[in-house]
Structure 1
Amino acid sequence: MPEAKSAATGFPSRNEETPKALKEPHVPDALPLLADESAYVIPRSAQSQDLRVEVVELWGGSGTLDPGEITTVEFYWDDEAKPVDTRTVMAPYGSEIIPFFGFIPALKLGVSGPHQVRYVVELVSGNPTELSHPISVNIDKEGPNQAQPWVKLKFPAEVERDGVTDAYLAVNGDRVVATVEHWSDIRLEDVVEAYWERLPFRDLDPVASVEIEQMHKDGAPVELIFEGEDIRRNGNGEFTAYYHLIDRAGNTGLRSDRALVRVNLTASPITLPAPRVPQADDGLVDLEDARSPGGVYMLIDRVLDLEDGDVISPFWNMIPLPVIVFDASLTWPQRVAIDWSILSAGGFEVTPGTVLARYTWRRGIGTARPSDPRFVPVDLTVAGPVNPGNPDPINNRLEQVTIKGVTGDNIITGADAGRPVRAVVPLYADPRPGQELELMWAAHPTPVDTHTVQTGEREGDEVEFFIPWAIVEPVGNAVVQAYYWTFNGVNRQRAPDTPINVNVIPIIGLARPEFPDVTYDGGPSSGFINCSHLPWLGVRVRIPGDPVRLAMGDKIELSWVGHAGATNNAPVIPETVEVFPHTLTAEEALNGYIFVVPFDPYVKLPGLIKPAEGSDSPRNGCAVVGYRLIKAQGGVGKSGERLLPISLIRVNQPPCLGED
């Protein structure tokens, strides 16, 4: 260690503001100083590499340096004359260089025991400060108790005499407490790790541990707690219990003397195998699994050595499920349902993730012991909006598809024949490239067309499908359903059905309408509606029943067109053009249905037609009557038309309008 030097000639003022002793260095790898320590402990993990030392407070005088002047910092180990590391910094500089660091070579750390670290700052060449205050570090390479084995564990007299029994655990909180006699160099944060080892000897993980606190140094017993569950898990027989002493530097002492302990307990499960999730056998639980009969479930296989009253508590994603209380009637494997609210908890409809599935076993007041874990990937995401009705595949938040028939939306007729039928739907929110929309048609087993979302497509863009005519035509006349699936590569969901009326084969053979009020007896009013029929009460038109062509739910549209003359070639009276709809009941389809056509204007206006002065034409007006059948299950037909002459004209009297 060099002696402190006087200021060099020519630098009298600059050294005056430099303190004579600088702040001690800092060693980042050192453990915090405890009350029973006189030096900072360097843990074993830091003893095999160079030890970083930091100057944490800027020395004085740096502000007076000229640009380009060099300051040297030398780091010293113990009382050695030469520095173990030298670092330089060029002016100008300030607090931005803090912490300023150097290293103690790993070779120096090979000598155990306390050491001192200092540094010297030479502001400019030949102008060193005094040595800094030192920091003491302890290179601790020796375990507690001078690294010698210590005495065996002391167990309660009853355990040493009778072993560990059910009765003992029942009255002692389901645990066995053993003590360790204090060792001579006991220190704060020393750790005692205890082992419970079946004979013959084998290496195990520690089952009990205690960290030394001040109360132990003050005389409190050092106790190791062997929990009943740990004892049960290892079964019955003869065991040795021992411990290792470990100091806070990481030094582990030799094994203590062994204590022999006998265990004589009611048999209990030793292994708790992980539950099985059959739906995850393909690597993933998805919406298809959730929709399958019975939904998602986990299976708990037989657990050996159970006693009546033992409790098995299943968990899914840390959510408790209904417990299973064992009795002799229990069958294996036990099936535990994972309902939708539990399966979807955790946001798996938005982001895929992994779930921990496991169960615990508990007997009496003992601590619950967990099974081996089962990690289950879950992905419930979809293309399009999340379905509030999940796991139902039909999402009412998806827009329905529209079939663009030539004659109207969601109607396909012979006018569409021979070419693909177009279908459209607005694209859902937040579309992702690569997602697919698959159009389904009627009972066709596979998609009839598919659209793959492209980069740049946005919500609301029109998605277009085409249905080949060869697939449409076999439907004939029927109402079929069209919908589409969305697919994100993992899960599918579908839009609601759109009913499509397919009428590509006309219905023929429909009977013409009948007029129950009209007589055909050859008399002067034969075939006419005239005043004798009281037409102001309305004119009846009957649709004949037809058990072959008509059915409940079919729609009849009666067409009535009045003409200002005796034939359908006469001008149409616009006010009399009307369609009267009616949906048939089962009885009406079989026996027929009667429309009553209102008098005004439908009967009145054609009934007032008469010859002009000096002419005999037109003799009267008429109505042309027919109907259209729209089948509830698809199909359209038209009846033949009938001409109904109408006259309200009376000789030498005003027309009959129901007013007299």
Structure 2
Amino acid sequence: MCTSNALIRRHSHRAPRALVPPVLPTALVDGLLPAALLTAPIPVTFPVWDDAVEGDYYQLLLDNVLVGVQGQLPANPIPGTELTLDIPVDSLTGAQDGNHTLAYLSRRFIGGTPNVSAATPIVFDRQAPGGSLLSPLIFPRVVNDGLTSDELTAMADVLVGEVPAYFDIKLGDVIQTYWAGQKGPEHTVQQAEVPGGGTQPERIMIGFTRVYLEALGDIKEDVYYVITDRAGNISVDSEPVAFQLALHESAVDLPAPIIAQADDRVISDADAKQSVSVDIPAYDGVQPGDEVTLYWGANSLPMQSVEAGDENEDPIFTLLVNYATVALTPDGDVDVYYEVRRNTLLFGTSAVKTVNVVLDLPGPVSPEKPIIRGASTNPDDTDNVIDENDYLQPATAIIAWKSGFIEDDQISLFWGQQPVPVLYRIKLSDVTAAADLSLTVPNALISNEGTGTDIRVNYTVTHTGNPKTTYSASQSVIVRRKGELPGGENGLQPPEFQRVTENGGIGAILNPDGATLLVKPYENIKTGDVLNFTFLGWKGLFEGPQVPEATYTFTTEPLTEQQTREDYEFTVPDANLRLICFGRAEAMFKINSITGPATSGIAKVFIDMVTPGEGCAKP
């Protein structure tokens, strides 16, 4: 058993490994450095090399020239520990755009022997694509006098524009189009579109769909594009093309809808509760397939199609406006009209029928659903979730203030199926402040209703002298307590490392194919539970840096009923263990369950994958 933090360093008889190339964390995969980063020092990392000793020097080499400051190793340097140096700004600004190499030099402190690492290629690019001028998009000649619907149909509903060849075109350039200042389709340049190798590059074509063009309307506006290369350099705007769209035929005027219940011009609460009948009268040119959308003020009803035979009827059909739709609009005059579309294009808009809506409901129209907040102050608390930390405490219901509230309105907040609501009467000070209301929900109300994933909470508004009631939308609330979560009141136990040595370690002999961990069936296990395992490793038995590359995560499929009755095993691969080599590790798992999330305890273990005389390489 290990009883000391001290480790003995013995000389290795193996040949030292070559100095590995440096790494630029901010560079793209091919070594390209974003242009925006070239005005500040660029960090470069590389590991401490084998046989390093205190005092050894190291410095960066840009294109075989020493740059930046010279570093020096501290006492007891550990091979593999990450070192960082910066490429200084003057070296960046003094370097031309194009391909470069970056390496580092190490030099022994005592013997003075130098060595240079393998080089890492890097690329500087501060040149905006296209230079000072980008030619305009090229469209088919047939649309020079404007684009009509028939012409677009002949183009298979896609207007194609060509981006002319431009200076410094590169793979990965992003071409973003704009029409009337609005973003249009974009295109990423492919290898076949870049000149090179004596082959003729493909033309760059960008398609504008009918859906996009029709949304712009019949306008004459500029079309242009902007190019951003992979380094983040942004081009000038291309030369614009003034383009006329003429896709929509002139809409015809249609007769106003007919509302029999508004013969007296008034839609009362009683009218609305029966649903308001709106007749769509026959109009000139009606055809089967016409799509009719009725608008009640700013709110539209679902579209209805004219079916075969309807064109011979008058009215064509009758639409019913339900109470909820009528109540969306405040009391007063409401404009009612309809639109007809044919082949998705606007055919006509009706004259307006104005009605006077008088529902006279207390409180605001269509009050928003309340927001429920637990009493705990955990940073990950979520609205409308009463979790295990909140279950034994009162909650708060937030009611958004609406201008329809007046003094003495009675608010009754209902929690699930509980018969007794939380009551609150609006005061003059509430009306003056016009701030959201906070109601305390007693814990007895929460615990009597119990837990669930869809407990409905809403409130009503009443007022003395008004027989009607206003109902808010219903909020869905999740309520859970610890005893129902995976692991129950005692929580989830850590996963168990199998095949551990007598000294509490994971070794190469007992674990030749990786380290296996076991999770036993836990309290409140459910079919469909998903387990998310995490394994982390560090160098050194008691202290030392984490080894990010050794991290291993694993997520199970939803558990079957059979699996809820069995031990569950998962294995950390041998390669991850050997990245740690000699150190320590931790493992835990999280569960996503229908009853809520839970996190296990942490299992800790020593790692020793060293083979004497051979290190940690797989034999």
| TM-score interval (norm. to shorter) | 0.3 to 0.5
The structure with more strand, counted as a fraction of residues? 2
TM-score by length of 2: 0.41
